[in-house]
A and B are shown apart, each in its own frame.
Chain A
């Protein structure tokens, strides 16, 4: 079946660096994408989303880029902090009937050392 995948299972950075987490998706009909952060023992936490009519969206210290031509998503975290250490998932919405059915990638574990 179709699924969202991530390029790297782990990413290690130094505090203060910028982090880039990549994701490839396979459903060209997907029109809504979300990045989540999951810390140990907790549910996924919403970070930022983007719709397919945009190619870039910025939040606080985070930017999501969408390249529909190559079906690629990326999450950029500026000035990475130790508190950013977590597993990051991208998800695409393949829901029908105007609904929500998120397909998740396998996750990238971000480790930030100080």
Chain B
């Protein structure tokens, strides 16, 4: 079975721009979650989607949003980028409330 895939792997954006990251879960997995990883804050939960509905949400500002499509693929969007948004963005998928498998991440650099 193919693992979780994320595109793009690397991205450089300028402050004020917006960005969209994509995640394809493992086949058969309906839950997709997004996490932000930084050296200072570690791994932080952004949100979880299940059957196209946001089921859980972390403590991030409204500039961070996401969606899930009928094929379980998910995208997350960050608007009005700030320097502090530079991070590794990780997507994870699971069948439901069970073991999550992570993708390799998208490295976002904001200049």
Contacts and interface: CB of A to CB of B under 8 A. Distances in A.
Is this pair of chains taken from one and the same complex? yes
A100 B50 CA distance: 10
Contacts of B4: 43
A91 B102 CA distance: 13
Contacts of B62: none
A100 B56 contact: yes
A32 to B, nearest CB: 7
Contacts of A96: 55-56
B56 A97 contact: yes
A62 to B, nearest CB: 14
Interface in B72-99: 90, 92, 94, 96-99
Contacts of B50: 99
Contact of B31 (A45, A100, A103): A100
Q: Which of A45, A93, A105, A107 has the most CB of B within 10 A?
A: A93
A93 B102 contact: no
**Could you say which interface size class chain B belongs to?**
20 to 34
Contacts, number: 74
Nearest to B4: A43
Contacts of B42: 104-107
A43 B56 contact: no
A100 B43 contact: no
Nearest to B102: A43
A101 B104 contact: no
B66 interface: no
Nearest to B93: A100
A15 to B, nearest CB: 27
B103 to A, nearest CB: 5
B41 to A, nearest CB: 9
Interface string A33-59: 010100000111110010000000000
A95 interface: yes
A1 interface: yes
Interface of A: 1, 32, 34, 36, 42-46, 49, 89, 91, 93, 95-107
